[in-house]
Amino acid sequence: MTKLQRMSEAEKQIMDIIWAAGRPVTTSEIIGFLPEDKAWKQNTVITFLARLMEKEMITAVRSGKANLYEPRMSEQDYQRLETKRFVKEVHRGSVSGLISALCDSEDVTKQDIEALMDKLKAQADKR
């Protein structure tokens, strides 16, 4: 795969539908899964799908009159790549800087901190 390009928010919404389906989906199915506040026309969805294909995020296979779209990468793999990019760009590559920023945030709960500590301990035990 070539260097991963960032997805727009709209492209990400389409990818979320494809990932959630867990199987190849048609344009009509994607439109059917869109939230009610997204009244995108078929041509708009097709444009987003074409962009995702250009970015090598999805593949399409012709089935009768429809294309079946499926991801080329799992959602978890995409999240890992975006997280690495975020740490590199925003925290200058410092994972501890990210964790410090998270801990300083009022949004982090005690349960979040405990889960993070458990995860870090498990990683340390593996090494």
What's the maximum distance between 2 C-alpha atoms anywhere in the chain?
54
CA angle, 80 as apex, 76 and 84 as ends, to 5°?
A: 170
Predicted local confidence at residue 3, as pLDDT: 62
Residue 57: phi, psi to the nearest 5? -90, -25
**Could you tell me how far CA 74 lies from the centroid of its own chain?**
8
Q: What percent of the chain has pLDDT over 70?
A: 97
* pLDDT tens digits along 49-95: 999 999 999 999 999 999 999 999 999 999 999 999 999 999 999 98
SS3 69: strand
**Could you tell me how far CA 125 lies from the centroid of its own chain?**
29
Q: For the chain, how big is the Rg over CA atoms in Å?
A: 18
Residue 39: phi, psi to the nearest 5? -95, 55
Structure tokens that stand for 28 in this block:
């009509």
> Confidence class of residue 1 from pLDDT cuts 50, 70 and 90?
very low
Structure tokens that stand for 92 in this block:
């200058």
C-alpha span between 115 and 74 (Å, rounded): 23
